[in-house]
Structures are given as C-alpha cells and as structure tokens.
Structure 1
Amino acid sequence: MRVKSIVIDGFKSYAHRKELADLSPHFNAITGLNGSGKSNIFDAICFVMGITNLKKVRAEDPRELIFRAGTTGVHAARVTMEFLNDDPATAPPGYSCEDYPVITVGRQIKLGGKQQFFFNNTVSMQSKVKRFFESISLNVDNPHFMVLQGTVHKLIGMRSQDILALVEEAVGTKAFDHRRRTAEALIRGKERKMKEIDDNLETQIGPML
C-alpha cells in the first residue's frame, strides 16, 4: 500500500482545494520558499491520520487548523489521503488488494470544533481510522515514522527503555500490546462481575433454597 494522492482544502495556509496527485512510490520532495506551506503539508498528513495533540501540528486551538481561523469565509478544513493498495505484501490486515484496491481516509473539522472522520468516503469513527494506521505500524500520536526537526538530538539522549519503546512502536508490536492490555482489563472486569454474582447466589439465594 502506498500514498497515491493528498487533497487539502481549507487547512491552515491552503484556503482552496490543493491536490498532490500521482505521488511516486519511491521518493517525493516538497520544495518551496520559507512560508510557502511545506510544513503544513506534513501537518495535514498528521491531521488526517487522527492526531489528537494539536501542539504536534503547531496549533493551540482547533480553529487554527482552518484557514485564517475561519475569518475569511472558509469555515472548515478537510484533508483526504488516497492509498493505492496494489501490493499484497504491504496490504493492511483485513484489506485485500482484490476487495480494497483503493483506500481513502479523510478528516474534517468545522468552526466550533465539530469534526468527522471518513473511511472509503463513509463517515467513520476516529478509533477505526487510528486502528487502520496502527495495523501498518503508523501511530500518529507517536510518529516515529516521521523524522521531524529535533528528532535526531532527542534520539541521542534517549534512555535504553525509551529506545526499546520506539522500536516496538516502529515494528507494530506496541499497538497489539495495547489491545492485549485492554482485553485483559475487560476480562478482569467480567471476572469480578461473575464473582459478585456467585457471592449473591451463595449469600442471598442459597439460604432460600
């Protein structure tokens, strides 16, 4: 699976629809003068992938993601990424090349903070979008797949356990660990509930039989 195109509309410095189409599967470069919006393209990618910490996309308020905070008649920001799913070796789990030759993911935010996620042009839950990316080792809230400014210096000063966590994130095991912990917590909760039922049967129902 690879990125085929990115469409940015109303996001940050992109007041009008801008499409980055026919992206190379090997190498792409974004060039331009200072202030031309290069960094905003990376922010748009993080946005559509479901990032929750706005500071990582250089914003303090959701309105800052909309072109000029909505003061010029642009009242929403939307980013869509289209993926070409043509290689079985890199196809996401559960998304075969035959059934899903193209996969689209989108996110929109409006003035007031209301937002929606889209998966294959259908309104979706944020959790589904994030799970989709996590299944291919792309956790946008811990984006080790992107080398941002200051990342190299941060890596040099990392402790061994932090480096291990980074590697686990990169190879995709951390997402499964999180699901395992969630499942274990659910099982423990069910076991406590079963124990409460057994206790009630023994102390309240039992004497009446």
Structure 2
Amino acid sequence: MSAPAARDDRRTLGLVVVGLLAGAAALWGSGSAPWFTVDVPTATRGTVAASATGAQLQPAVTAVAALLVAAVAALVALSGIARRLLGVLVGAGAIAAGGLTVGLVVVPPTPAELASARAGLTAPNAPEGVGAVTATPWPWLAVAGAVLALAATVLLILREPRIPRLGARYSAPGAKEQVAETDPDRAAWERLDAGGDPTVGPREGEN
C-alpha cells in the first residue's frame, strides 16, 4: 500500500474516532443539562422554577454516550464484519437517542411528568406545576451529538475495508526481507526459528 493511501486510511480512522468522541461528549453534556423547566409551588418559598435534566427525562442519551466511548476502544482492535456490526449497533443507538430527543421536544412532558422525573416520584404523587413547561436549547445538543455519531458510523461502515487496526503497519513489498538483510541479529533469530544454524549466514538463493 502506498504511503499516501496509508495516510488517507489513518485519516479516515481519525475522523471516525473524533466523530464518535465528539458525539459522546455532546450527548453526555446535553444529558447533564436541564432540558425543561416549570414553575412549581412550594410551601416555604412560594413558586420556584424547577427543571429536569436530559438524563432524568431520557436516560438513553447518556447510555448512548457511554456506548460511543466503548465503541472507540473496540473499533481500533476489530476489523472486517465485526467492525461493521459494531458500526451498525452504534448507528442504531445514535438514531434512537436522536429520535427520542426530538420526540420529547415535539411533545414536551407535562408539569407533573417533569416533577416526577426530577424528584423520582410517580406521576400521581408529583406536585403539579403552574404555567407552561419551557424547553431549553440543550436537547438540540443531544440531537447534534447523535448526528455526529451517525455520520461517523456511516463513514466506518463504508470505508471499513481500508481502515487500519491499532498497531497495523504499512510497508512496501520486500520490506521484511530488507529488514532481515540490514539487521543481522534479527536474521540470525529467523534462521534459528527455521531450524538453521544462526552462526552461518544465509546461503545463496535462500532469500
């Protein structure tokens, strides 16, 4: 494989890794931020603004973020059909996280549902909010992270045959023989492994 092609393949691997890590960071950051707020009456402080985070409302967001990080560790060691299956799995997770987030933005939770998610209560026991539930921009960060992760997995699936594994080496044909010729110690060990005498140089025609 030529040097320019090898560099291009490593660049593709780098883009996939960066896309997955960026998607994971966006999903995790979004899941840790408040997605919706609502005014809730209290007995001592009057009406206060209560909010629920993305992880409280949609745990799949942070779960997919963890999946993306794990996928980065796996994809550099896998190859072939296993790596493509990993891409399909991660892509499905990204689609699920993005789709569930968009669905929640389109149909926001009710004040009781929001209070339930925040307090961990069942809906009938949750305090009713007053006023409308207000969405923050943070859910769209999760959507952006899901899109980034999906784009990275599509690139992985399409270019998988040319993406190197971690530690893979590219060398021109005949490089191994050249190393053996220029490294006497290595050549001696190779002759010993082949059952020959390491103290005797290669006979004519062995190479």
TM-score (norm 2): 0.27
Counting strand residues as a fraction of each chain, which structure ranks higher? 1
> Greater share of helix residues, 1 or 2?
2
**Higher relative contact order at CA 8 Å, sep ≥6: structure 1 or structure 2?**
2
